[in-house]
Amino acid sequence: MALSFYYLSGSPFAWRVWLALEYKNIPYELHVLSRDKGELQTPEYRAINPRGRAPAIVHDGFALYESMAILEYLEETFQDQTPSIWPCEPKDRAIARRTIYEMDAYLFPPVRRMVEELLIKPEGLLDASVVETASNVVTSNLEMLATGIKGKFFHGNAPCAVDFCFYPLIAMLGRLKLKNSNYDLLATMPENLKTWKTEVENLPYFSKTLPPHWKTAA
């Protein structure tokens, strides 16, 4: 039976899993959950993820949540027949994992703050000082993370988990200018990051994984 993948449109954590499933060519059944319809909180879904968050998977009756744990499980379970999402060398693998932990700890919180201020809050309630502080943290993190790109992708010529985790955050930043053109952080990010972003967007399965609601509305 195909693996069931529980997904929430726009979630960077769910997007990383989708990219990994596609890259590894793992058959899956996509279940798009609706927050508005309360589908993260149903008893059926909470039996899969008691935290009521996405992503989650069910494989051979085994339910798993937390995106990093899912990425590790996919790698270990499907390692024979598919490309690896981690670099081969232990030190490179450690750096890849460290980079993802850095993104989750230091980049995601200010990105989320900016999204809340610029895209979610009603217009007129924007707190410019919160945005300014978050934007500075984002910019310095992008500069630091950009130094880790070692080829076309983070660890050479093939994509890996770092690319799959980083891209959704960059894409969220790209959405900020939709409502406020003063916040085009992608325009000022390091040049190698711009080139890397294009490489990810050129992956053959990339457009399939775009958040469905981004395709239909701003």
Binding site for ligand GSH (CB under 6 A): 8, 11-13, 35, 40, 53-55, 66-68
Q: Which is nearer to ligand GSH, 69 or 187 (CB)?
A: 69
Least distance between ligand GSH and beta carbon 35 (Å)? 5
Tokens at 113, concatenated: 């703050």
Least distance between ligand GSH and beta carbon 143 (Å)? 24
Least distance between ligand GSH and beta carbon 181 (Å)? 25
| Nearest in space to 64 (alpha carbons), one of 17, 133, 103, 112 | 17
Q: Which is nearer to ligand GSH, 109 or 191 (CB)?
A: 109
16: burial class by Cβ within 10 Å (0-12, 13-18, 19+)? buried
Q: Which is nearer to ligand GSH, 71 or 81 (CB)?
A: 71
Tokens at 108, concatenated: 């995601």
Q: Which is nearer to ligand GSH, 39 or 181 (CB)?
A: 39
Question: Which residues 6+ apart lie within 8 Å of 75 measured at CB?
Answer: 24, 84, 85, 86
Determine contact, residues 52/46, Cβ cutoff 8 Å: yes
Least distance between ligand GSH and beta carbon 10 (Å)? 7
